[in-house]
Amino acid sequence: MANWAVVVTLLLSAVAVGEGCGGGAACSAVPSTLDGPFAPVTVRLDDEAFRGEAVDLPETDPRVVRRVRGFEPEQISVSLSATADSVWISWVTGDFQMGNDIQPLDPAKVASIVRYGRLRHHLGLKATGHSLVYSQIYPFKGMQNYTSGIIHHVRLTGLEPSIRYFYRCGDPSIPALSTIHEFRTMPVSGPKSYPKRIAVVGDLGLTYNTTSTVDHMKSNKPDLILLLGDVTYANLYLTNGTGSKCYSCSFPNTPIHESYQPRWDYWARFMEPTVSKIPIMVIEGNHEEEEQVGGKTFEAYSSRFAFPTKESGSNSTFYYSFKAGGIHFVMLGAYISYNKSGEQYKWLLRDLASVDRRVTPWLIATWHPPWYSTYKAHYREVECMRVEMEELLYSYGVDIVFNGHVHAYERSNRVYNYTLDPCASIHIMVGDGGNREKMAVNHADDPGHCPDPATTPDDMGGFCAFNFTSGPAEGKFCWDHQPDYSAYRESSFGHGILEVKNETHALWTWHRNQDSYKSTGDQLYIVRQPHKCPILPNSATKMNLF
């Protein structure tokens, strides 16, 4: 039986390679994980030559100004529910307010309605949803408060998979309706069914680099966008609109870390032409924390996006799951408790146990800060999360992990507990979307760049990063060379595209902004080997499912 599984894998490999690059000599140039583990590669680029204009778009840019009137919908976006028969439509009506005497709008005065259907001029179906307003309040002299427009979320259900739908959103009684938009549902869940292309990007922001990233990304015609946190970088601004590449450097004496919330509105207006058509799924990053009065955090993130929390059995916007064809995605939160005794870990146990790999062979996990990065920036910063969760993800055979946070690109070999393992996950860090903070260029293994262990406390209050007790870095905090788990690293803005071909093969391509649209910076076939890596959760895992 095992030999037959090997034959099937080899046959599928030939099919996947043919689909991936069209056959011919060029196909053999694309390596696969079966060729690994790979010797570590570092591509060093001059920091300034490839940064472009790392400054934010101004509020006067025509792509971010308000173009609607009254309560007409704007900032329209589509996000997925847990399964292919449902999506969320989100939008904003009414303008935000900034100042000391703000009066929040009343959500009850504007209805949340979506008319939709399979024909552009016959939108015979109707769905209603809910709406809300959030505020960012600072009880300090000289700071301006913010209240949002009315944010609407409507869930459409009973949809057919892999079908194009047209829709209008708004309140027809005012009347205040959007123009007609369209989206395509995900394929039905099954081992032969996959979205053609999934874009993966992190730390996007709203700079001129961002515009290049989004243009490149759209040219690849993705069916789905994964945004790995750090969305707008609104918290690099004071409430008077003064911004900086380094908040703590420029504003060291502010009584609270301020945030200029209009940057969220600007970002959503810029992204609307893309995400009103292509579903976007987001997970929180550290720049979404945005503390305000009363200790509230992550208000903008939790309010502005629709998440399939209830549909996936979660009770939090910080973690959830969804399916896209034969892929099960697990979106995890690094800025909420991930301890084994916490609600997120218990939810993750239940969610992983519910995955039927005969239906969704691919299991992909994402969260913002990486466990495996060799850059000096944020080096081993979330070691506590890795210690708590890695064994669980490994036992359920997670195929790929996507992260952002570090402003560079890095792809690992298959690694578990810092050790090469043919059954472990590939970790891919895509934190190079275009933010205005400095690009990460220094590596922890570069001479003189190993950080002090005392400077690496976990954001959740733990401290787990110590000197290694075994292996090539025994007795040290950093390697003295690029670790063998790091296959490829490069400092450049860009994005990635994942193309799942079948049950065992997926083509991963990373695109650099400075290249032509059809060029690739890094490319690899990721190959699953279920016959060699059976999923056998241990008894302790099974005992703690509920």
Quick one: pLDDT band at residue 519, thresholds 50, 70, 90?
confident
Instruction: Report how far residue 68's alpha carbon sits from residue 89's, in angstroms, rounded to the nearest whole number.
Output: 18
Q: Render pLDDT for 11-53 as a digit per residue (tens, 0 to 9).
A: 444 444 444 443 333 445 899 999 999 999 999 876 555 555 5
d(CA 197, CA 185): 13
Q: Can you tell me the distance from the alpha carbon of 361 to that of 398, in angstroms, rounded to the nearest whole number? A: 10
Does the pLDDT at position 544 exceed 50? no
Residue pair 424/416 in contact by the 8 Å Cβ criterion: yes
Query: Which of these is catalytic: 287, 368, 378, 407?
Result: 378
**Which stretch of DSSP H or E encloses residue 523?**
strand 522-527
pLDDT tier for residue 95 given thresholds of 50, 70 and 90: very high
Q: What is the pLDDT of residue 283?
A: 98
**Is 122 assigned a catalytic role?**
no
Angle at which helix 208-219 crosses helix 262-275, to 10 degrees, equals 20
Residue 2 banded pLDDT, cuts 50, 70, 90: very low
| pLDDT for the residue 52 | 54
pLDDT in tens, 162-183: 999 999 999 999 999 999 999 9
3-state helix, strand and coil shares in percent for the chain, rounded to the nearest 5: 20, 25, 55
Q: Which two tokens stand for residue 83?
A: 């399964």
pLDDT at residue 504 tops 50? yes
**Each residue's pLDDT tens digit, 302-332:** 999 999 999 999 999 999 999 999 999 999 9
The pLDDT tens digits for 194-223 are 999 999 999 999 999 999 999 999 999 999
Phi/psi at 250 (5° precision): -90, -30
Nearest to 366 by CA among 285, 288, 297, 298: 285
Q: Can you tell me the distance from the alpha carbon of 441 to that of 110, in angstroms, rounded to the nearest whole number?
A: 48
What three-state secondary structure class fits 164?
Answer: strand
Mean pLDDT across the stretch 440-456?
93
Per-residue tokens: 545: 């499912």
454 burial via Cβ count (<10 Å: 0-12, 13-18, 19+): exposed
- Determine contact, residues 22/423, Cβ cutoff 8 Å: no
Half-sphere exposure of residue 283, counting CA atoms within 13 Å on the CB side?
Answer: 26
